[in-house]
Amino acid sequence: MMNKQISLADIEAARERLVGVALRTPLIRLNVEDAPAEIYLKLENLQPIGSFKLRGAGNAMALAAPDKLRHGVVTASAGNMAQGVAWCARRLGLPCTVFVPDHAPQTKLDAIARLGGVVKKVTFDEWWQIIVSHEVDHLGLFIHPVSETAVIAGNGTIGLEILEELPDVDAVITPYGGGGLTSGVASAIRARKPDTRLFAAEVATAAPLAPSLAAGSPQEVVYQPSFVDGIGGKSVLSEMWPLVSSLVDGSLVVELEAVAAALRLLLERNRVLAEGAGATPVAAALAGLAGSGKVVCVVSGGNLDSSKLIKILAGELP
C-alpha cells in the first residue's frame, strides 16, 4: 500500500535509479495556431515500450529486495504497465506474469509476449478486483500498476522534466486511469511550482474522478469499454483518493469523438502517434478546458491497434 504523500526526495531518487532504463522524453509544441492555449506535448509514447509505465515499473523493481524477486514478478494491467514490468523483468532475467482484462488490445498483448511476459486473460471484473484487493493467486512479487509509492515516484520524474524544460508552465494535464501518473506528476510539480494548475483528463465512457471530486468522496460509475483502453475504471481506488483529491484542480471530461479528433490531429500536425489515453489530455486542452497560457499535455502512450487507427483516421469510432 502507498503512503499518503510522495516526497520530492522520493521522485529525485527515482530519477537516479531510472538512468539507463527510461528515456528523458521530448517536450514539443503542438502545431495548431488557433488553439485556445499554447499547447505542449510531453512525448512518453517515445519510451522503449511506447508508454510512461516504464518509469514506475523500473523504479519499483529497482527498489525491490532480491529475495522478493526470486520467483519473478506479477502485475495486473490493460497492457502498458504489463509491458513496463515485462521489459524490466527481461532486463533482469526474471519471469513475468501479467493478468489482463478480456478487452485488452491485441497490440499490447503481442508486445507483452514479445517481451517474454506470460499473459493470463480474465474478465474485467476479475481484473478490477485484483487492482482493488492487491491480491492475486500466483507466485512472484506483485507490482501494483497504480498505487505503490515507488511506482508513483517513478511517474513523478515526468513532472521534474516538464518544469526543467518549461519553467513557466501554467497548467499540466495527465490522463487519469488509476491515478498513479496524475499523482506522481502532480506531486513533483506541487513541490517545485505549487501555483501550476493540475488537471486529470478522463473520457466520458469511464470517468469516476469527476463525480468523485464533485461529491467529495469516491463514486462508482458504469464502465463502458472503448478504444480508450488505457484509462478509466469503475471507481476511484480508495487508497488513491486522499492523494489525488489533494493534488488536482479538477477532472476534465471529454467525449470519445473529441479524443479521436485529437488523435488524428496529433498525427497530421506533429506526426505523433498516441493511443486513446495519450490523446485525451490533448482533446481537453483543445476544448479550452484547461484555460489559456502554456499548457502541457502528457501523451502517456502510443500503443494503438492498427485496425483501430485506420478507422479513426477514416473519421470513424472503432
Locate all alpha helices (DSSP H) within the chain, ordered by sequence: 8-17, 53-63, 80-92, 106-114, 124-133, 149-165, 180-192, 209-215, 241-247, 256-270, 276-286, 306-313
> All domains of the chain, ordered by start, with CATH?
8-51+149-313 (3.40.50.1100), 54-142 (3.40.50.1100)
56-80: average pLDDT: 93
* For residue 18, pLDDT beyond 70: yes
Check residue 138 and give its pLDDT.
Answer: 81
More confident of the two residues 131 and 199 = 199
Which of the residues 42, 51, 53, 308 is marked catalytic?
Answer: 53
Q: What residues contact 261, with CB distance under 8 A and at least 6 apart?
A: 283
183 is an active site residue: no
Which of the residues 77, 147, 183, 300 is marked catalytic?
Answer: 300
Note the pLDDT tens digit of each residue in 87-97.
999 999 999 99
**How far apart are the C-alpha atoms of 318 and 306, rounded to whole Å?**
11
Note the pLDDT tens digit of each residue in 243-302.
999 999 999 999 999 999 999 999 999 999 999 999 999 999 999 999 999 999 999 999
* For residue 150, pLDDT beyond 80: yes
pTM above 0.85, yes or no: yes
300 is an active site residue: yes
